[in-house]
Amino acid sequence: MDRDAEWCEELVASLLGKHLPSRVKIAVAAADAALAAAALDADEEVLRRSEARLEARFEAGSGIGSGVGVEGQVAVFHVEVDHHHRPTAVVRTGLRLVRAGVQVLLVRPLDVVETVSDTWLQQLIGGPDPDPYSFTVCPAMFAIGGPRVVQQLLAVVTDRTASLRFRANAAHACFFPLQNTPDEALCRQVLQVALDQLREALQASPSRTRAPEHVAYLVRAVEGAVTPVARWHDVQFWPAPPLDQQVLTELLASLCRDLHWPVLQILRVLPGPLTSDTAAVVAEVALSHDAKQGESATIVTDEAVEVLGRCPSTAVVQQALEQLSRSASLVVRLGAMHHLVQRGGPAVARDVWAQLLLERSLPARRYATNLIARHGSAQDVPAAVDALKLVWKSKHVPARENGRSGPLLEPPWGSELLDFLWRHRQHPVAAAEVERLRRRWPSARPELTAWVAEHLPDLAPAST
């Protein structure tokens, strides 16, 4: 936005202390324009909207939504959302449209201020000599964006004469303009500055295991800008831009363990294939954190396992997954097994479920029965019958959660095995088990009988 800096500062200052609505731009597939309009009108937080404006095909590479394209025209809405927290207003409005069945291509905040003075911006982050506890997030930060603001903040971050607290505050503040304008060039620039600053710090202290605070904040700023929607898998209107994989790999390869989690988060959603060099570093990070104790180490290891899942099938990756499948952490163990099965197919799945059924952990046994149902064939009917015996003995009660239409009940454990046996009911062992279940139906688990009545009524006895 090419506006006078003083006018912009007055606009941003007007946001302070006021619960003003947020304006959002939304682009949807032209064919979904009517559906999107109806969904926006039904959204209680949407105060008003513009009529759909048809534009030419959405162009890839334009920041939020880059890489997304559809044939023909797109429909663009400008909406006013009754929510002063701009990121929440942007994401929530887009998600509600997605849940309504709309193909959302772009959701972006409007009224992003891209021109402010150095003095005003520095005061926003606490001034050149900030109090260590003075940095607070204010509404004005959610309105800034664009390359010029990022450049101004990076100038403070790289200023060796500035205090470390001032540099850290500037790096922390980079999150806000990047979240409003997470363009590829800006994210790449911030990551490169983070790497340059890390190299400088490691030259002075090669054995340090924590990055300087301003470096860690820069990496987290990029992570916070590119992953908040992309990591949810079910929406595509805010995908991660294609960042420099070599820079990310070097940041991950450092001894500074506080950088590992945000870099792994970025790699998990980074578009395109990961290289074998990146895969080797991810494997090393996963194994090093798995060797440590504590919840934080487990969280990082689990994230690394997910990244290994999208790495190429190299010997290093295979060996790391096999070693992690024997981890002391159940969540890491199951994650590694999942990716081994994805790569190895039914043969590996049989070995994994046989191992997991020997464990007493309910999540392990549930994953084993899911593997049987998903990867098993007629030859695995006896294994399904044996696994079903564990279900009858279990005291597991399905978890309940509140949905928009009332309480929701997840499919009970064992339902996947019953479905599997019914699909293979021509198999003699499966047929015998079905008849046995029908005879003992009055004593069957109530949640399973209810599920069968709704989903597999032919399996139940005729009298039920």
Can you tell me the distance from the alpha carbon of 295 to that of 64, in angstroms, rounded to the nearest whole number? 33
User: 3-state class of 456 per DSSP?
Assistant: coil
Sign of CA dihedral 189, 193, 198, 199: positive
Residue 66 is predicted with a pLDDT of 39
Give the pLDDT band (50/70/90) at residue 8: low
Contact yes or no for 283/317 (Cβ under 8 A):
yes
Can you tell me the distance from the alpha carbon of 275 to that of 435, in angstroms, rounded to the nearest whole number? 53
Asked if residue 59 has pLDDT above 50, the reply is no
Average pLDDT, the chain: 86
Two tokens, residue 202: 């490691």
- Poorest-confidence range of 12-26, 67-81, 284-298, 306-320? 12-26
Tell me, what amino acid is at 345? G
Asked if residue 152 has pLDDT above 50, the reply is yes
Mean pLDDT for the stretch of residues 292-308? 94
Give the residue from 178, 191, 174, 183 showing the smallest Cα distance to 241.
183
Mean pLDDT for the stretch of residues 367-387? 95
Can you tell me the distance from the alpha carbon of 313 to that of 305, in angstroms, rounded to the nearest whole number? 13
Contact yes or no for 196/250 (Cβ under 8 A):
no
Give the pLDDT band (50/70/90) at residue 75: very high
pLDDT digits (tens, 9 = 90+) for 163-212: 999 999 999 999 999 988 888 999 999 999 999 999 999 999 999 999 99
How many Cα neighbours within 13 Å face the side chain of 293? 0
* Chain centroid to CA 286: 19
% of the chain at pLDDT higher than 70: 86
State the CB neighbour count (10 A cutoff) for residue 406.
Answer: 6
Q: What is the reported pTM?
A: 0.84
Asked if residue 235 has pLDDT above 90, the reply is no
Asked if residue 94 has pLDDT above 80, the reply is yes
State the CB neighbour count (10 A cutoff) for residue 136.
Answer: 8
Can you tell me the distance from the alpha carbon of 248 to that of 266, in angstroms, rounded to the nearest whole number? 8
Can you tell me the distance from the alpha carbon of 6 to that of 99, in angstroms, rounded to the nearest whole number? 41
Residue 60 is predicted with a pLDDT of 44
Can you tell me the distance from the alpha carbon of 155 to that of 367, in angstroms, rounded to the nearest whole number? 51
Residue 67 is predicted with a pLDDT of 40
Mean pLDDT for the stretch of residues 218-223? 97
Give the residue from 415, 456, 459, 419 showing the smallest Cα distance to 437.
459
Give the pLDDT band (50/70/90) at residue 430: very high
Query: How far, CA to CA in Å, does 123 sit from each of 40, 127, 136, 172, 395?
Result: 38, 4, 12, 14, 60
Helix (H) or strand (E) holding 108: strand 104-109
Two tokens, residue 33: 């324009």
Residue 17 is predicted with a pLDDT of 44
Residue 10 is predicted with a pLDDT of 52
pLDDT digits (tens, 9 = 90+) for 305-320: 999 999 999 999 999 9
DSSP 442: G
Residue 451 is predicted with a pLDDT of 85
Asked if residue 215 has pLDDT above 80, the reply is yes
Asked if residue 411 has pLDDT above 70, the reply is yes
Residue 223 is predicted with a pLDDT of 95
Query: How far, CA to CA in Å, does 261 sit from each of 76, 211, 226, 267, 463?
Result: 36, 13, 14, 10, 56
Can you tell me the distance from the alpha carbon of 344 to that of 353, in angstroms, rounded to the nearest whole number? 13
Asked if residue 421 has pLDDT above 70, the reply is yes
User: 3-state class of 422 per DSSP?
Assistant: helix
Mean pLDDT for the stretch of residues 251-272? 95
Can you tell me the distance from the alpha carbon of 224 to that of 342, in angstroms, rounded to the nearest whole number? 29
Asked if residue 259 has pLDDT above 70, the reply is yes
DSSP string across 181-226: ---HHHHHHHHHHHHHHHHHHHHH-TT-SS--HHHHHHHHHHHHHH
Two tokens, residue 290: 């798995």
Q: Which residues make Cβ contacts (< 8 Å) with residue 265, sequence separation at least 6? A: 223, 227, 231, 303
Sign of CA dihedral 372, 376, 377, 382: negative
Residue given tokens 């996947």 in the structure block: 416
Residue 184 is predicted with a pLDDT of 92
pLDDT digits (tens, 9 = 90+) for 320-352: 999 999 999 999 999 999 999 999 999 999 999
Work out the widest C-alpha separation in the chain, in whole angstroms: 84
Residue 381 is predicted with a pLDDT of 95
- Poorest-confidence range of 127-141, 180-194, 289-303? 127-141
User: 3-state class of 329 per DSSP?
Assistant: coil
Q: Write down the H helix ranges in 81-237.
A: 86-99, 118-124, 147-157, 164-173, 175-180, 184-204, 213-226
Give the residue from 328, 345, 246, 260 showing the smallest Cα distance to 294.
328
Can you tell me the distance from the alpha carbon of 124 to that of 118, in angstroms, rounded to the nearest whole number? 10
- Poorest-confidence range of 57-61, 164-168, 243-247, 458-462? 57-61
Residue 232 is predicted with a pLDDT of 61
Residue 244 is predicted with a pLDDT of 95
